[in-house]
Amino acid sequence: MLRLEKRPTPSKFWLYATPVVAVLLTMIAGGILFGLLGKNPVAVIRTIFWDPLFGEFAFYLRGQLLVKAGPLILIAIGLSLGFRAGIWNIGAEGQYIMGAICGAGVALALYPTESRLVFPLAILAGALGGWAWAMIPAILKTRFNTNEILVSLMLVYVAETILAKASTGFLRNPEGAGFPGSRSFSSYTAASNPELIAGSGLHWGGVAALATGVAAYVLLSRHILGFQIKLAGQAPRAARFHGVNPERLVLLCMGLSGALAGLAGLFEVTGPAGKISIDFNVGYGFTAIIVAFLGRLNPLGIVLAGFLMALTYVGGEMAATNMGLPSAAIQVFQGMLLFFLLGVDVLTNYRIRSALMGAR
Amino acid sequence: MEFGGINPVILIASLMVAAVPIMLAALGELVVEKSGVLNLGVEGMMIVGAICGFITAVQTGSPVMGFLGGAVGGAALSLVFAFLTQVLLANQVATGLALTLFGLGFASLMGQGYNGIKPPPTLSVPMGPLADIPALGPILFDHDWMVYMSIALVAVVWWVLKATRLGLIIRAVGESHEAAHALGYKVNRIRLGCIAFGGAMAGLGGAYVSLVRVPQWVDGITAGAGWIALAIVVFASWRPWRVLIGAYLFGGITVLQLNLQAAGSAIPVEYLSMSPYLITILVLVIMSSGRGRAALNAPASLGQNFHAAR
Amino acid sequence: MLRRTLMTTAALGLGLALTGGAALAAGMDHVKACFVYVGPIGDGGWTYQHHQGALAVQEAFGDKVEVQWQESVPEGADAERVLTQMALGGCNIIFTTSFGYMDPTNAVAAKFPDVKFEHATGFMRNSENVSTYNARFYEGRAVQGTIAGRMTKSNKIGYIASFPIPEVVMGINSYYLHAKKVNPDVELSVVWAYTWFDPAKEADAAKALIDQGVDVIASHTDSTAPLAEAAKTNGAVIGFGQASDMAEYKDGPRVSSIIDNWAPYYVKRVGALLDGSYAQADAWEGIAGGEVGIGEITAAVPAEVKAEAEAMRDAIAAGTYHPFTGPINKQDGSAWLAEGQTAPDGDLLGMDFYVEGITGDIPK
């Protein structure tokens, strides 16, 4: 009989070793899955983990990892602050959409002004849009004690309807012959968010994601607010005695995560996505929740987790195309990876003891 | 009797059917959360239940076996979650979301080859002349048995949580796992049981979608119903009868808005389309603003893992 | 490594051939045809039908083609990546099967002049290697409308619409016009589901229509849920298969169907690439080209109605009848098409108005 014994302090060794172990275990379990589906397991695993980084087309795919990881990291860092303080913003997807709509709306309203101010204005509007959308659950929580999980989640669906309305109605391209979708940002230079260095995949969203990671790290380790956030999550009563105003914290954390999600939406719509369309959102807001926890709510961890998720998306896609795997198999594989990452993590904080040995 | 071209009797009869999947799943999740566990994998368990139920029903030719299969499928998937969170003490929020991702993919793999098949029909319970009573007949006596079953399950869960020793233990574990442990209860084992029950209920709800609501297997068939179920639990402030109210309210407004469209209402479609979500928020605000009693009803240990130090 | 070199030479050869002009274009010995799908193949509707087309290509050319596909590709940035990967990976022709892939398709096509791109349902062809194709589904709607107008007893017919885009509006107008033609008393109820695929919601929408007295339902969403809902009325309500034949409801409410049949087009285009006759195209085929199939009209429909519907189908196929032939007024009473005038394709592709007689507004 095995049992767990809590370590006095988390193990440094396992902190870094668990992700490696988890990936190895996933490769084995995933290999079995792919084998059962009649594919060469080694080839599939290599395509997922190796090819995007070092394969034939890595020169292109490495940049794509950044494109994919950027919004995940940006959103996840915002969410992690709230999660640390025990504030559950599940609706980042909605804030992402509203940020994109507001930012794109401002930029398109100025069309065809070619001014350097257009893009900064759009960024501001995007952040404000996400912030405002997150303020709804925040204010309802502080004023009426309404549960923020429900409100933020329900507002995702409302935002999706507004998105459909935007792309078929008020933001529709007047020169698009009645087709849904806004003007394309790639042809509106003042408002577009292009690759900063050709082939790198780096656009302003990626810059913002990495900068936010650093800022969050400083905030959490050096600033009184970071301390308050951590304290509110771990010991709400103690936080009160310490002068932490819980209402202010809710408004702040929700607002910050909303604004960052809105920014991610704005950078995506003006950059890689290129326009407002009915299916503009692809679930970054939900995936970012996983990324936040995979990164153990730690800014550096989130950056790494964001890239790992991006790798499974990009590599998984390649495997699906090249090997004829159903995309569902890739989803299962991603699920397994997450299971292993989350499960093996136990070794960081606990020791496994056999009951016989551990018996006093 | 009609209001704005809408017949309320037909409307109520429709919403009772529309609400069944989210009600079953929400009821299961309620028990899970009462025991202090937050499982965000409802959508994944629902869709696995949908395909397991569908396959079982098609293979056996019996819808009853199908629902059973759905429940077993959902429960089996939930055990993955239970193992990770109760044995390996993994983070519940992230594991739940991963469960959804895994479930969606897994169901799709299982379902290959089951497209375009009609499952055996689930028939209305024959109530004879009762079904012909005006107004009451269509509302009360003209449904398939799962509709009655879902209401009965609400009553059972309510009774078990409120009046039985088992319910007391579940609530104790959810309120303070330390105290429950000190009293000698096996916290993690009790939670494991609750998680399995939640999985079975989600699976049952999923099977209702694939066997009655649609009835067919297509990828992504539950289309987000699991998320709504999660919201309904919060809406209900962890009270079983309020789950019924919440599910009927949400299902009712969904049906109503489509009926208003069909009847040619003057309200713009996009507002109708968002109305189920907005009204749910609004009602929750009204309910929870009464000095915050509703929100305080959340189980105190919700989402926290328990490890017996000794 | 060897494979890579081979591929480069093949691409180079193709590039040279193309610079020589279309007339001199050489054929190819082997074509790698790739498909990008917006949903899972198991959706039983839109993507499923495209995949059937892809399989038909494999069937038709055997060893001479290699077929690859990628399911569930979100529109936007992800599509651009998948397309680039495919082009880098040696695809010779890439079919992008959803409207939302329009910008990514054109963006990637500009970077890979030697790869052919075929974009479904769009209108943008920014470089020479981009073709567009679509199917005239409104022709099928005309046949459905005829059946609906004749079959309805309550004179109320319904349409479950997805999003307010020209494609859908076109379908609604065609369906209504032809129902009205054979039954002047007919009224149309439209329900906007704001989704392409949500079986439970589609079922609710069908139920709502039935509750409003509608007894013939057409749908523009992908699942069989509306038919299943109609089946519960024991024959009082009928409906149509959408995208695929939905033959499993033949003994029930499904009286006919519109089948998206992409196989003829895919086989033709890949074939053209193989024999060297490939050229940029803007294809919009309908019943005549086989892209729009009319599923078997069942015995639930009286023989004379069936004959009328089939005559309609055949007239459209023969080109003697256009479903949008004037006089047709817009909803507000202003004239759209004069007597005998047929609708220009441009009007149809950007259609954002109802025809006269339909009540309610298109959500804007």
Does B300 lie at the interface with A, CB-CB under 8 angstroms?
Answer: no
The answer to whether residue A139 neighbours chain B at the CB level (below 8 Å) is no
Judge whether C216 is closer than 8 Å to chain B, CB to CB.
no
Considering the domain boundaries, does residue C235 fall inside one?
A: yes
Q: What angle do CA B112, B113, B115 make, to 5 degrees?
A: 95
Considering Cα of C247, then B117, then C59, then C75, what sign does the dihedral take? positive
Q: Across the interface, do C165 and A180 touch by the CB < 8 Å criterion? A: yes
**Minimum distance, in Å, between the CA of residue B32 and any CA atom of chain C:** 25
Question: pLDDT tens-digit profile of C141-175?
Answer: 999 999 999 999 999 999 999 888 888 999 999 99
Using an 8 Å CB-CB cutoff, list chain B residues near A150. Answer: 231, 234-235, 280-281, 284
Task: Look at A326 and C352 and tell me if their CB atoms are within 8 Å.
Answer: no
Looking at the fold, whether C61 and C188 belong to one and the same domain comes out as no
Q: What is the span of the domain harbouring residue B126? A: 18-227
Query: Comparing B64 with C6, which gets the higher pLDDT?
Result: B64
Average pLDDT in chain C:
88
Task: Report the pLDDT averaged over residues B165-192.
Answer: 91
State the pLDDT at residue C24. Answer: 40
Confidence band of A356 (pLDDT split at 50, 70, 90): low
Q: Residue B293 — pLDDT band, cuts 50, 70, 90?
A: low
Confidence grade of residue C221 (pLDDT, cut at 50, 70, 90)? confident
As a whole number, mean pLDDT of residues A315-328 equals: 90
Q: Report B:117-176 residues touching A (Cβ under 8 A).
A: none
How confident is the model at residue A279, as a pLDDT?
84
Residues C206 and C305 in one domain: yes
Q: What is the mean pLDDT of residues B127-150?
A: 82
Structural domain count of chain C: 2
Q: Which band of pLDDT confidence, cut at 50, 70 and 90, is reported for residue A358? A: very low
Tens digits of residue pLDDT in A60-98: 888 899 999 999 999 999 999 999 888 889 999 999 999
> Tokens 């003829």 belong to which residue?
C264
Average pLDDT of the segment spanning A208-235: 86
Strands C292-295, C254-260: pairing is: antiparallel
A247 pLDDT band (50/70/90 cuts)? Answer: confident
Considering only the beta carbons, identify the residue of B112, B214, B269 that sits closest to C200: B214
Contacts of A169 in chain C (CB under 8 A): 164, 363-364
Mean of the pLDDT values across residues A123-135? 96
Chain A nearest CA to C364, separation (Å): 5
Give yes or no for A60 touching C (CB within 8 A): yes
pLDDT tens-digit series, residues C54-86: 999 999 999 999 999 999 898 877 899 999 999
Joined together, the tokens standing for residue B42 give 């409802």
* Number of compact structural domains in chain B: 1
Residue C67 sits in the same domain as residue C99: yes
Least confident residue range of A34-43, A80-89, B284-293, C6-15: C6-15
pLDDT at C21: 38
pLDDT for residue B296 is more than 60:
no
- Average pLDDT along chain B: 89
Asked if residue C126 belongs to a domain, the reply is yes
- Looking at residues C212-228, what average pLDDT do you find? 89
Q: Do A331 and B101 touch (CB under 8 A)?
A: yes
A56 vs B209, residue with greater confidence:
B209
Q: Assess whether pLDDT exceeds 80 at residue B127.
A: no
pLDDT recorded at residue C15: 40
Task: Give pLDDT tens digits for B223-259.
Answer: 889 999 999 998 898 999 999 999 999 999 988 888 8
pTM of the entire structure?
0.89
Considering only residues A5 and A135, tell me which one the structure prediction assigns the higher pLDDT: A135
C3/A contact by beta carbon, under 8 A? no
Rounded mean pLDDT, B32-59: 95
**Which residues in chain C are contacts of B214 at CB distance < 8 A?**
199-200, 203, 223-225, 228
Helix residue spans in chain A (DSSP H): 12-36, 41-49, 51-54, 58-84, 92-109, 118-144, 148-165, 204-222, 224-234, 236-241, 246-270, 284-294, 299-323, 327-344, 346-349, 355-358
- Which of the four pLDDT bands, split at 50, 70 and 90, describes residue C256? very high
- Same domain for C177 and C219, yes or no, is yes
The residue that leads in pLDDT, A199 or B170, is B170
pLDDT for position C234: 84
Residue B310: the pLDDT is 52
Residue A99 has pLDDT above 70, yes or no: yes
List the domain range (segments joined by +) for residue C125: 2-135
DSSP β-bridge partners for residue C158: C189, C217
Distance, CA of A89 to CA of A77 (rounded, Å): 12
C101 occurs within a structural domain? yes
Range in A113-117, A207-211, C152-156, C158-162 with the lowest mean pLDDT: A113-117
Give the pairing of strands C156-161 and C216-219: parallel
In a domain, B243, yes or no: no
Residues within 8 A of A (CB atoms), C 61-100 only:
68-78, 80-82, 84-86, 88-89, 99-100
Say whether both C226 and C254 belong to one domain.
yes
Give the end-to-end CA distance of chain C in Å, rounded to a whole number.
Answer: 54
> Could you tell me what percent of chain B has a pLDDT over 90?
55
Do C174 and C78 share a structural domain? no
Of C34, C70, C350, the CB nearest to A177: C350
Where a domain ends, among C108, C135, C162? C135
Q: What is the count of residue pairs from B and C with beta carbons less than 8 Å apart?
A: 123
Task: Tell me the three-class secondary structure of chain B, residue by residue.
Answer: CCECCECHHHHHHHHHHHCHHHHHHHHHHHHHHHCCCCCCCHHHHHHHHHHHHHHHHHHHCCHHHHHHHHHHHHHHHHHHHHHHHHHCCCCHHHHHHHHHHHHHHHHHHHCCCCCCCCCCCCCECCCHHHHHCCCHHHHHCCCEHHHHHHHHHHHHHHHHHHHCHHHHHHHHHHHCHHHHHHCCCCHHHHHHHHHHHHHHHHHHHHHHHHHHHCCCCCCCCCCCHHHHHHHHHHHCCCCHHHHHHHHHHHHHHHHHHHHHHHCCCCCCHHHHHHHHHHHHHHHHHHHHCCCCCCHHHCCCCCCCCCCCCC
d(CA C358, CA C176): 8
Q: A111 pLDDT band (50/70/90 cuts)?
A: confident
**Residue after which a domain boundary falls, among C135, C154, C187:** C135
Higher pLDDT, residue B49 or C345: B49
Structure confidence at residue C6 (pLDDT): 36
Query: Which amino acid type is present at position B268?
Result: P
CA distance C151 to chain A (A): 33
Over pLDDT 70: what percentage of chain B? 95
Residue C23 has pLDDT above 80, yes or no: no
Task: Find the mean pLDDT for residues A5-16.
Answer: 85
The answer to whether position B161 is within a domain reads yes
What pairs with residue C256 in β-bridges? C240
C202 with C320, same domain: the answer is yes
Q: Among C104, C135, C166, which residue terminates a domain?
A: C135
Q: Which of C7, C51, C71 to mutate to test the interface with A (most CBs of A within 10 A)?
A: C71
Q: Is residue B121 part of a domain?
A: yes
Average pLDDT, chain A: 89
Quick check: C238 and B226 in contact, CB under 8 A? no
Q: What's the pLDDT band for C14 if we cut at 50, 70, 90?
A: very low
Beta carbons of B285 and A335 less than 8 Å apart = no
Residue C86's CATH number = 3.40.50.2300
Q: What is the pLDDT of residue B4?
A: 65
Q: Are residues C123 and C180 in the same domain?
A: no
Domain residue spans of chain A: 65-294
Is C265 domain-assigned? Answer: no
Binning pLDDT at 50, 70 and 90, where does residue B2 land?
low
Q: Is B88 on the interface with A (CB under 8 A)?
A: yes
Mutation pick from B22, B89, B114 vs chain A, by most beta carbons of A within 10 Å, is B89
Q: Is B6 inside any structural domain?
A: no
Give ipTM to 2 decimals.
0.91
pLDDT mean over C214-240: 89
Cβ contact (<8 Å) for A153 and B227? Answer: yes
Tens digits of per-residue pLDDT, B212-228?
988 888 888 888 899 99
* CA A33/CA B10 separation, integer angstroms: 48
Of C45, C198, C363, nearest to B223 by CB-CB distance is C198
Burial C303-338 (b: 16+ CB within 10 A, else e): eebbebbeebbeebbeeebbbbeeebeebeeeebbe
For range B200-207, the mean pLDDT: 97
Q: Does A29 touch chain B (CB under 8 A)?
A: no
